[in-house]
Structure 1
Amino acid sequence: MQNKSIITQCPSCETQFRVTQGQLKVANGQVRCGACLAIFCAVEYEQKPQSVEPATQQKAKTRRVHEDKTPDTFEKVDVDLPISKEETPASKPTEITTSSEADKPAEKTQEEIIKTVSAADVPTLTIDAEPVVLSLSNGTKASSPWWFIGCVLSILALLAQHLWFNRGDLYWTHTYRPLYDTVCQHIDCQIPTRVDTAKITNQQFLIRPHSEIADAITIDLVLINEASHNQPYPALHIAFSDLKGRPVASRTLQPESYLDRSIVNLKSMPTHQPIQISLDLMSPGMRGINYQLELLAPAL
């Protein structure tokens, strides 16, 4: 360890120590005395050794320096060969601590001051529970009748819309018919006619040659309205086809074509009463072997 360590003397207790150049470089030359804990610059108080011991003796007395790797704190090292004014063989090496911060004692003093504060001096934070008061705004009153009136008017408006847009179905029920009859006396309700051709059945379909007109045929029908209400007479669609199902002739007859308006009300076909109808048509010819009758909604 030639030229790698110096001997410095503590200015407070005059204790001498050996410090390596590596320790001085890490601590920027600042060291702490292991005896009185004073911090000083090792280079300024460097001492020249009076005698040089043999290398074998110096190597035997030298021990490795243990450096504390903790950053930003004073590093503790074991210094070999402590030299003092009264050196004895039984004396032990004195611990010194190198430091990279000169204000460490101030931090310890502050910590000690904080720890000495008694718990009685710390103010206690107290929270008092306050009652919650619910109040209405000045512009709204809980007992105001306008809210009730507005709700009633909204319900009545929705009900009126339902009765108006569904009047075609509701009029034919016994519950709503008196209401619609009263209202329609003052306004034009235009109740649509209720048509349900699925409830009209054909009980007879007979085709025979006309008794007086050549190349003409007579068709006899018996229709029954099985609905629970009166409805207009249906339109009759008659179609003829050949053996292969190809259309030969067809015709659609409205109620005014096969009924007499002076005798029968075209918009009121009675319920559960057979209605016999006789039609005179031109013959479809020899090809019109197949025939079909379809009941359609009338063109009112």
Structure 2
Amino acid sequence: MYTQCPGCGTIFALRAWQLRQARGRVTCGLCQTTFDAVQALSEELPGDEAGAADGGQPAASTSASSTEEAEVRIPALGPQMSAIGRLLPGDSDERPVDLRALVGEHPAAEQRAATASEETAGAGRGGAADADWEQVLAELRAEQRPARASAAGGPKKRRGRRWLVAAGVLVLAAALVHGSYLYRGALLELPGTRAWLSAVCTLYDCQLETAASYDVIEVEERWLEPDPRRDDALMLGGVLVHTGERRLPYPEMRLTLRDLDGHVTGERWVRPEDYVADSRLRARLGAGMEPGARVPVELYVAEPDGGAESFSLSFRPVE
């Protein structure tokens, strides 16, 4: 049977055992094109009606004038064989086979005799030759089928795995960011986390500090008494002590007033500039409260209708 190089159009005559040895994948020695010889197989010589009429044997080259030259060309592979390159050492089934390597450049005498004998008796054993071809083609097509399926499925599987990995990374990143947002108050106590948490709060549009951040502020020397200048006003005083280990922005302070029974009679949120009594600290509110700082507090409020016998203070980040 014949196969034709899709690169340069060179035609090669092949026998069943030669195609089996090549495993179907061959390289043209003229143009170095690698192609599947099985896909290009034909029982007739492509483009040569005369060759088909005389039994499918390729016409002899007019340049093959001597016996030695004809032997070098290897009649079993056709007259074009003289232009095909050599097989490199170490070739295996994993790489395409050079067409000239199927029989070698100088075949042994017995191989040439066998080839000649095969050509002479070819017409008489057409059935056996056909059976050989059917067996070889069945073997090669069976080998190519799983290879094609693997080649078709492999990239899709790899792409699927890459998508799964990417999705897993995104889920973990989202969980890390959201967890940092929820527990930012506790994480702020860890060194080196402020820059990361600041970026998280930029994403969530939240305060970096939380109400829990101000649990380290204690109130000392507190007092509450009527304002001597006004009958319906109260004066509140005390000292805020920062017992934590890192600088904190000044918080908003919530004042809660209660009567003798503990019922809430009044409540108010106050900003730092309204409760910090020391003028020097008031000028530096942006610097925040340093660890160990003692901040004097003084505040004047209207006395609620239910009276005010006690008070409590709590804190939150400035909004």
Q: Same fold (TM over 0.5)?
A: no
Which has the larger Rg? Answer: 1
Say which structure is richer in helix: 2
Say which structure is richer in strand: 1
